[in-house]
Amino acid sequence: MANHKSALKRAGQNERRRMRNKAVKTTVKNEVKSVRQAVADGNTADTSALLNQAKATIDKAAKKGVLHKRTAARKVSRLAKMVNAASA
C-alpha cells in the first residue's frame, strides 16, 4: 500500500480511471452485443442504426484511450462486415 502523499494520490487516480475505463468497456461490449443480436435475429432495419451507434461508442472509447485505435478499427470492421453479409 502507498505510504507517501503523492503515492496515495496516484493510487486514487488510478482507481478512478480504472472504474471509468471499466464503464466505457462495458458500454462497448453491450453495443457490440446488440448489433450481433440484431444480425442473428434478422432485423435488417435495426442493424444499420445499431451499427452506427456502436461505431460512435467504439470510436469514443478509442479517442479516450480506453481501446487502442487498431482494436477499435478491427471491431468496427468486423461488425460492418457482419451487417453487410446479413443484408446481402
Q: The domain that contains 74 carries what CATH number?
A: 1.20.58.110
pLDDT at 80 over 80: yes
| pLDDT for the residue numbered 2 | 79
Lookup result for grid cell 470510436: 59
pLDDT in tens, 14-63: 999 999 999 999 999 999 999 999 999 988 888 999 999 999 999 999 99
- Boundaries of domain holding 56: 5-87
DSSP per-residue letters across 2-43:
--SHHHHHHHHHHHHHHHHHHHHHHHHHHHHHHHHHHHHHT-
The count of structural domains within the chain is 1
Taking only the tens place, the pLDDT of each residue in 50-79 is 999 999 999 999 999 999 999 999 999 999
